[in-house]
Each structure stands twice: as C-alpha cells, then as structure tokens.
A and B are shown apart, each in its own frame.
Chain A
Amino acid sequence: MISMPCDSPGAGLIALGALRGYLEDADANDIELHRQRILDEDKKALDSRKVLLHRLHGKDNFRYGGKDSDDHDVIVQIPRAGKTALKNPPKYITFNFRDVYFEGEPCLEVNTGNELPYGEIYRDLIEHGGDVMESNLKKTFSGVCLAGRTMGENKTREIMSSIRFHSETQTSHLDKILSVHDWSCETISRLSFFNSRTKKMDRKLVSPQLVVADGDASFLKVLAEKENFGECDIIAIIDRTLERDRLEGIVEKMAELTQWYDTDNLLYEHLPPVPKGVSLAIWKKK
C-alpha cells in the first residue's frame, strides 16, 4: 500500500513498471490460457458460446464448433449482431488458436508490423534494465491488471494521459503506453483493466498475478472481488489528501485484515527508501 501526498497517476506508473517487467519474460502471454478458454467453450451449449472473431476474416462472427471428422478444432460462422440468419451456408473453419479472439477483447497475437509501437520507450524506461522481448510486443498478456477509479474509466484515463514519455525517436502518453484495450487502437494489450465503477473486467481470463488499484475506493472494490482477485497480489495507491472518512475506511479495512495478514518488515527493509512525502506499508499472508 502506497500513500501519495496528492492525486496522482501513480497507479498507472506502477502498472507500467509491472508491464515493463513482464516484457522481459518469454512466458508472459495469454496463449495457453486462451487456448484452454476456447476449448472450455465445448462444455457450453451451442447458443451460449461466446462470439469469436478471426483476425483474417474481418467482420464475420463465429463460435467454437468442436472437432471436425479429422479431429481438428473448428469454428462455425454465426449471424452478426442484429441478424437472425446468414445469407449463405455457414463457413466451418479449422483454425489456429492464436488467430481467433473473443468479441470485445484484445487480439491474442499480431504479425510483425502490428506490434505495440512503444518498444523504444519501454526499453529506455529503466536504466540498465533487462531486455524487452520483441515477441512480447506482439502478444496479449493479462497477468497485470489496473483497477481504475470508481469515478469511471474516463477519469482514470484522463489522469494517465497527463504524463508523457519521450525516448530518442518516440513520444507517447501514459494512457497509450499502458495498452489498455479500450484506450488504444492497438490490437494487443499487455494490461487488463477492471472498471471499479461497473465492476467489469475488460476480458475474461483467470485472475491476474498482480492488480494495481487506483485509489481507496478502487482498492476496497478489488478486495471485495474475490472471484477475480482472490489469489493475486495487490498494490493500492491512495491519495491521503482525501476526507477523513475515506482515510478511516482504509484503516478500518486493514485492521480487519490483520487476522489474516501481517506487515512484512523484512521486504520493507530491502526496498530502496521511498521518496519524501510518500509512505509505504507491505502486508503478507500469515
């Protein structure tokens, strides 16, 4: 838990740090989870399967169609939203899991030329940092989640857009670099987003490894969302210039959690000193 001396885009910066860290990890992608999720569609009734899109088949809608006679997984074309029937007989397509994605969610993987264009900024972000794996810029990853402000997604994005990064040849704002699916025109995303106001995730996967909560109310919502965040680490960024009631809300919640959590002084001592005006507390499961 981090308390800041003012309202800040701190949550975005921390999420960016985590995003940057996972760019060094060759396994930091959703491919296996995605494959499993599509196969799990087979357990559902046909008409309740989620709409799938194929990156090579434009605007056509599909759903998972099980195995064909050659034991290949297939997707089957379905009418688009608002239509009741197809004009022509439905297409059955054998497919590569990497080429299909769920409607409203980011693409799983893109070709060279369509990768996230912020490689240079990510590289320059940390002096003497590890190598950014080029392949990761082409693959979606949902291991880090940003839990936005309860005032809404727009307010979260607004404050993130107040920070700009320059590298030798690139300039971009934090909201873009974070690659949140709905904030960016890019087709892959390296950061999932939880809308604390509507309590909705921007994608359906297993719980992330880390969630960064932007603000006190967002933090409390994350704690309450045990299904999505019950197993992950949480970093909460709290503005301590808030009204007393809200500050006390956090103190009371933490007092309640002391039956399961202890402060982790050992880790605290191993961290570099926090900047003046910022305070930090670390809690770990007993």
Chain B
Amino acid sequence: MAITASSICAFLAQDHQYVIDRRVISSYDFSLLRRNLLLIIKTLNECDDATEISKTLRWMLSEWITTPIPFDEDLPQKIKIILGEPEKVAKRWPVLNHAYEASLIAATNLTQNENPIRIEIGLVINELIGGGRKFRIYCHKNARSYFDSIIQAECPGSITDDYFIHKPKEYRIIEPFDVLIKVGPFRSHGWGNCPDALLTSPRFESLVHFIWSGSCDEPGFGLDPVTGTSIIGENSFDKSEISQNSMKLLIPWKITITKTGDTLSVVDEDELKVFQSINRADEKAVVLLHLDNQYGILYPIRKPLLLFNPTVDPQHDQIGQCLLDEVLTMGVFLILPIVAPVDFGELHAKDGKFSVIWKKKLTEEIQKDHSGLCGRLSDSGINLIHLYSRLEDWCSPPDTVIPAPRRAEHFRILIDHLDIDVEHHVIDQRHAWWQYAWTEIRRSRGVAISEGRLVQDFSDENSLEILNSLKGEIMEKSNEQVDFYIEIPKGKELQGQFRFCRIVDMEKGFRAPDSALHEINDLREFEQWRD
C-alpha cells in the first residue's frame, strides 16, 4: 500500500536534524586518469570522424564518476577497446599519444587497489546493518550490480531489493527510513541524477553522500516550485554548499564534509559540467521511453506522439497526438505506423527471415573462436565496450526487436566477417545482402520507411481516422498484449500496419542526434546519450 500524505507530514513534523554527510574522495591515479581522458574526449569531440569514440569515452567516464565501479583488471582494457591499440592511436591522433599512454598507466595503477569509494561505502553499510538502521541507496538500476557486490562482500546474503531506489516515482511512495546513500553529485538530469525531492522532501534523516574530488552539485538543485528557491544555492557551485534558503524555508539541512584519500597538487575538473559545455549542436534533449525492461525508444522532449490510452473512457479521445507530460504514461501505448516497404517485399518484424541466417552463422563463429572474432571486429571498427557479451546478445532470437548492432556500419562489418553465402540467399540484385537483413532489423525496431519518408512524423487525419475505426480491435488486443500489430485494412490510402508498444516508464536527461531517435533498441544502447 502506498504511503499516505499524513504519515509523510507526520515524519516531517518531527524534530529531525537533517544531515548531509558528504565524503569527498581523492585518488592521485584516478585524478590522472580523469584528466587525461577528459583531454582525449574534448579533442576527439572536435574531430568529425571521432565523435562517436568521444561519446563512448564520455559515457564510460561519466559512469566511473557517478557509480562505485570496481577498479579491476578490465579497467585499462575498457579504454583500449574504445580507442584501439596505442600504436594506432599514436598514428591517427599524434596529439593524443601522451594522454592516451598516461591514461593506460593510471588505469593500470588503479587496478592495484580497490576503488576507495567502494571501501568507504562498504564501511558505512557494514555499520548501518550492524546498528540495525534502515538504509536505502539511490542509484540508477544499471549501477545496482556495483552496490550488490559491495553489500555481498560486507554482509553476505543480505542483499534485498528493499535497499534500492532507482526512480523518482519509487522515492515518492517509500516509507520513511534512517539513512540514504548516494554516489555522485546532486543533479536533476543525466548521470547521477536524482529527484529534487531528496532534499526538499526527505524521507530520511541522514544522507551519506560520496563524491569524487572536483565533482560539484548542480546549482539550483533541491528546487521548490512555489518559492522558486533551491536547497543547493546558485552561488555555491565550487563549494557544494547548502544555500541559506534551506534554513529559512523548507528543511533545515546541516552539511558535514569529510575529505579522504590522496592529497592532490591540482584541483580536479568537474567533468559533468565540462561535458555539458561541449554538447554538440546536432544533439537535442530527448526522452527515453521504456517499452519493457529491456527495450526503449528516444523521442524529442516536446514532440507530440501518437498514443493510444486504454484507460480513457472510449467516448473520449483514446487515440491522438499528445505530449507525454499531459498523459498518464504508464499503460499508454505508443503507436508506430509502419508502411510496408515496396522494395523489400512482405517482411514481418518477428519473422526473422534474414536474421535466422546470420544469427546461425554468428553462433557458429562464436563457438569456434569468440575472442578471435571479437578482436577482428574491434580492429575493423566495431568499438563497443562490451563487444564480447554483445556478440552473445546478437545471437538471441527475435523478440521485441531483432537483437543486432545499432549502427548499420557495425552490422555491415559483422556480416562481412561472417562469410555468409550471399549468392545462395540473395533475393534480387538491387541491394547487397546485408542491406536486406538490415532493413529487417530496422523494421523490427519500429522504423518505417516508405519511399524515403519517415512515417512516424505523419499526423494527417487519415491515420487517426483509420485508427479510430479500428478502436475495437485495438482495445481487445491491448487487454492481452503489450506489443502488437494491427493491419491497416485494404482499400485505405495508407498500407501497412500500426505497431502498438506499451510504455512502462519514461526517463529524461538524454541528448541525442536525430539518427538515434525513433528506433526501438536495447536500453543499454541509449546509455551513450545520457547527458
């Protein structure tokens, strides 16, 4: 049962001393690694042919700053997978040679010891469990495994879902507890983001806050919409101070700062702030719609979407173009109009006509030499961090989508290395084999191409009229399925199908180029666009 407003008000009415126990951690090697990677990211961001590498590095570094990753032997390898072998980097970007070598040395040095943030978190959790205190950890669900491993090491067998809060809506309904643990600065969007309500409407007395030196809270965090004031002051950026507003306004926070780790000769930069300043003009703020626990799709924040809302009275507008904020998104269906591409015949997303062939071949290659294939693909330009496990994912049979590389170029490289007998499987001579297979993949991702036109953008009366005439069938299917297709009846101006995908969640704080939008993909693929 959801918590009542009365119990929250009763909790706040008690005379608590609200405390932020801030632990600022410094590490000489991590500082070196951060500085050099930042230099590489900034430089590559300016090179048109390397922005994706820059983006991937940025994603990785952002994760390291905002989550308690283990400093294991994979650390240098993760950098190498993205950038390639040092000799190649030296040849391609001579200016980065020194920074790259320094990064690899620092990363190697870091593997000698455990991440100090993990050690500190372990000590705090141990103390809290020992003292019988109720604690929660606010983190993104992808960071959960890092915390699990800490808890497992400190108190084996004691991990439960109850320890974690991953989303604002989970926080809203949580019972008051004693201590909240958070890693990374207070930010309203992007990496390490958390709700302003952590500070404006605490459900706990103490917040143990771990941040790396140099990381700063977002000015204006802890916003009260009514007074327009915030807990984190506008001018307290460098010191991460609590603003005076908190004293005269809502919740009087007291902050204590403990610095641990190496003494640094230079002040670390706030990478997350730097990243915001180097956002590319071709990227826009987008929202990630979760279609289930594994797949999602990106849309521009203010773009009206074609939606079907089964919770609305059928007499009212169940189908229409709406802004997401204006509707209850849980249980609402996203409608993707899919027009059958004339050039590619009758393909159905889940048929997997081509995918059966290349997936079989990929499975065989993996069984033969997984690491070797990984290396060859990496050398050919598929620079994905988790390529080894991605290859296994791509072998999986079609589900909501056909698991495959996100980029066409990566898919082409993959097919090139699989040595498929394309002569045997070819349909006609107009396109390369991989292009047929790629179209099949894109269709499964809800991408509709009809004579070069992106059909998602159409909003004409015709489509709404057709959809409204099919309301009965749509309603019936929506009661039983979360992802389904409805055929457009023959004789209509539009030909093809409407795909309906139920929206289970919505996440803001992403920036992405147009090429990354409107495609259903594995949720992990979208991490690189997190702001």
Contacts and interface: CB of A to CB of B under 8 A. Distances in A.
A193 B480 CA distance: 35
A244 B224 contact: no
Contact of A150 (B189, B250, B301, B326): B326
B227 A279 contact: yes
Given A216-B225, A241-B195, A277 B12 contact: yes
B381 to A, nearest CB: 37
Contacts of A281: 226-228
A198 B226 CA distance: 26
A246 to B, nearest CB: 7
B196 A244 contact: yes
Interface string A232-276: 000000101111111110110011000000000000000000011
B9 A152 contact: no
A241 B12 contact: no
B225 A5 contact: no
A175 B197 CA distance: 28
Interface SS of B by simple majority: loop
A84 to B, nearest CB: 23
B196 A240 contact: yes
Given A277-B251, A279-B249, A240 B8 contact: no
A228 interface: no
A31 to B, nearest CB: 33
Q: Which of A238, A254, A279 has the most CB of B within 10 A?
A: A279
B225 A6 contact: no
B201 to A, nearest CB: 4
A247 B168 contact: no
A4 interface: yes
B196 A276 contact: no
Nearest to A10: B5
Nearest to A244: B188
Contacts of A93: none
A6 B188 contact: no
A271 to B, nearest CB: 14
Contact of A279 (B188, B189, B224, B508): B224
Contact of B5 (A9, A217, A248): A9
B357 interface: no
Given A2-B226, A244-B196, A248-B223, A277 B250 contact: yes
- Which 10 A-B residue pairings sit nearest by Cβ, starting from the closest? A277-B12, A8-B5, A5-B201, A241-B197, A244-B188, A250-B225, A3-B226, A247-B225, A1-B226, A6-B8
B8 A280 contact: no
A151 B326 CA distance: 8
Contacts of A198: 316
Given A152-B312, A247-B223, A251-B223, A277 B8 contact: yes
Contacts of A5: 8-9, 12, 197, 200-201
A275 B326 CA distance: 30
Contacts of A245: 301, 325, 508
Contacts of A3: 200, 224-227
A5 B196 CA distance: 11
Interface string A144-158: 000000111001000
Nearest to A278: B9
B9 A244 contact: no
A74 to B, nearest CB: 35
B231 to A, nearest CB: 11
Contact of A7 (B172, B200, B251, B328): B172
Interface size class of A (residues with CB under 8 A): 35 or more
Contacts of B200: 3, 5, 240-241
26 contacts: A5-B200, A6-B3, A6-B5, A6-B201, A198-B316, A217-B326, A240-B200, A240-B223, A240-B225, A241-B171, A243-B195, A243-B508, A244-B189, A245-B508, A246-B225, A247-B223, A247-B225, A251-B223, A254-B228, A275-B13, A277-B13, A277-B201, A277-B251, A279-B224, A281-B226, A281-B227
A240 B201 contact: yes
Nearest to A219: B225
A8 B9 CA distance: 10
Nearest to A9: B5
Contacts of A246: 225, 325
Contacts of B251: 276-277
Contacts of B228: 251, 254-255, 281
A162 interface: yes
A240 B197 contact: yes
Contacts of A217: 325-326
B335 to A, nearest CB: 20
B217 to A, nearest CB: 14
B226 A244 contact: no
Given A151-B327, A241-B195, 10 more contacts: A3-B225, A4-B5, A5-B8, A241-B200, A242-B168, A246-B325, A254-B228, A277-B8, A277-B201, A278-B9
Interface centre among A6, A10, A242 (most CB of B within 10 A): A6
B4 interface: yes
Interface in B1-49: 3-5, 8-9, 12-13
A130 B171 CA distance: 41
Contacts of A1: 225-226
B225 A238 contact: yes
Contacts of B226: 1-3, 238, 240, 250, 279-281
A254 B188 CA distance: 20
B195 to A, nearest CB: 6
Tell me which of B224, B226, B301 has the highest count of chain A C-beta atoms within 10 A of its own C-beta: B226
B223 A276 contact: no
A242 B172 CA distance: 9
B191 to A, nearest CB: 14
Interface string B174-198: 0000000000000011000001110
Interface string A4-40: 1111111000000000000000000000000000000
B59 to A, nearest CB: 21
A89 B185 CA distance: 79
Contacts of B326: 150, 217
B168 A243 contact: yes
Interface string B219-240: 0000111111000000000000
Nearest to A277: B12
A162 B171 contact: no
A279 to B, nearest CB: 5
A225 B172 CA distance: 30
Interface in B321-378: 325-328
Given A240-B201, A244-B196, A276 B5 contact: no
Given A198-B316, A241-B195, A275 B9 contact: yes
A278 B13 CA distance: 10
A224 to B, nearest CB: 13
B133 to A, nearest CB: 22
Interface in A161-189: 162
B172 to A, nearest CB: 5
